[in-house]
Amino acid sequence: MLSVKPAAEQTAKALVNSLEHAELKTTVSGTMSLSPDSELKLAGGQTVKLEENTTVKLDPSSTVRVIGDLKMPQPSKHQLQADATTGTDELPFTSYMVFRSVNLGQGVVETGWAYDLSDTIRPQYQHCYYRQSVDEGLAGKITIAIDGSPVRLSPLMKLPFKLDQALADCIWFSGY
């Protein structure tokens, strides 16, 4: 006696087994928009991997908040030379600055985060400026914001960049 049932069960089991062991790869391109009150989270154990030369851009008015351990770049003990003294045997105060930069026109918008050794998690202050090379070894620098607030520039200044765009390129520390 012939029956269709065993063949159908075997086919279903083969399909389930194939799907359970399949590795899916996708390519996503285009623009994605989220509503202003959206939150994007990864489930525990999930990761996101981006192909080399992939660019992820955020709207200039958006913010990114990191919750968890924030590892800030810090100089090594050798770089800090914490035991170094001056000619008068005084111990100097040690501080350091981390720079983030974005190309803009003929120059660069740089944001500096200033740290001292008493608090290596949060910067003591921040400043953002536009820097453009004028000649070999010579550059012009215009401070455009301090601690997230734009500075008042003289209306007589002829800027070699768009101020609004430069301010949007400042990268402020958001871990407060």
Q: For position 4, what pLDDT does the model report?
A: 59
Helix (H, G, I), strand (E, B) or coil at 11: helix
**Cα–Cα nearest to 170, from 115, 108, 114:** 108
What is the residue-wise DSSP string for 40-82?
Answer: --PPTT------TT------TT------S--------HHHHTT
Mean pLDDT within 102-125: 89
Predicted TM-score (pTM) of this structure: 0.53
Q: For position 145, what pLDDT does the model report?
A: 96
Helix (H) or strand (E) holding 100: strand 95-104
Tell me what the pLDDT averaged over the chain comes to: 80
The torsion of the CA quartet 93, 172, 158, 164, rounded to 10 degrees, works out to: -170
Give the Cα separation of 61 and 119 in Å (integer): 28
Q: For position 28, what pLDDT does the model report?
A: 65
Q: For position 1, what pLDDT does the model report?
A: 46
Mean pLDDT within 96-108: 92
Q: What are phi and psi of 79, to 5 degrees?
A: -65, -40
pLDDT tens-digit readout, 150-167: 999 998 989 999 999 999
